[in-house]
Structure 1
């Protein structure tokens, strides 16, 4: 009997993104930064992460260009963290993840409701920038390089 041929995992930007942000403390640090919390001690307090884990996650995000460190005190050196434009876009992902959690994990009783500048409760949705239609499953399909096929 011959050995089964190894199957390569699907090439996917979701998998690539999860390599960077797929750990709980990473996304919670981004959450805090997107809410304007910039000092390390406050991020630790608001996330519950240990200092060493949070340091590692922030350094990884900094190396990937998602956050940047800015010196705010020279002696001793103290830094603030700020989201880069890439990090700000990641905040949009967190809003949709929060909406999913509110709908399916905390139905009828979300722990926090965000208000949009229009005055209504924020209910973010993902839409196509070109036509404005929903980007939910069934409304889109892969095309071009790396497109999925229905066979196998």
Structure 2
């Protein structure tokens, strides 16, 4: 592992450098949850299926890399929420590209989209691209209204209920 870090630190390749922070499944899923407004450790763990140790390690790494900032929401016991920083928010288009790729290549034609977005600016549904089909403007997270499909909403609720029951 030490040799890998040394090799990556010497490379000019931005993909290799980015991969050291966001290049594993659990980190990407944690970032997905932050963008879905699941800010608390338990919510993140429930929705990703990661162990507490995996979530803690990834959040610590994301915080050290400047993608996430902790905010105390309870002093006793001490509990934190995790929110994306400006650097973390900059990962959103990457996540949207992964979403578009998954919707296009890894779903049955019978399945509906997991999340449908409406562009606040023009009020029209968005497609999977980086620009709005209705008005052509680039899509930014703060300009979109997300609506989970009933099946995806049920899936997320079932994960949360199973997590609470297993505590």
TM-score over 0.5 for the pair: yes
Give the structure 2 partner of residue 125 of structure 1. Answer: 130
Q: After superposition, where does 1:55-134 map in structure 2 within 5 Å?
A: 55-108=56-109, 109-117=111-119, 118-125=123-130
Superposition deviation, residue 124 in structure 1: 2.4
- Structure 1: give runs of 5+ residues left out of the alignment: 1-7, 127-131, 133-152
Q: After superposition, where does 1:34-49 map in structure 2 within 5 Å?
A: 34-49=35-50
- Structure 2: give runs of 5+ residues left out of the alignment: 1-6, 132-136, 138-167
In 1: Cα distance, 2:115 partner to 2:73 partner: 32
- TM-score under structure 2 length normalisation: 0.66
In 2: Cα distance, 1:116 partner to 1:48 partner: 29
In 2: Cα distance, 1:45 partner to 1:65 partner: 24
**If you compute each CA radius of gyration, which structure gives the higher value, 1 or 2?**
1
Are the aligned partners of 1:116 and 1:122 in contact in 2 as well (CA < 8 Å)? no
Superposition deviation, residue 116 in structure 1: 2.4
In 2: Cα distance, 1:16 partner to 1:34 partner: 22
Please identify which structure carries the higher helix content.
Answer: 2
Give the structure 1 partner of residue 165 of structure 2. Answer: none
Superposition deviation, residue 16 in structure 1: 0.6
Superposition deviation, residue 114 in structure 1: 2.2
Please identify which structure carries the higher strand content.
Answer: 2
In 2: Cα distance, 1:56 partner to 1:86 partner: 19
The 4+ residue runs of structure 1 with deviation greater than 4 A are: none
- TM-score under structure 1 length normalisation: 0.72
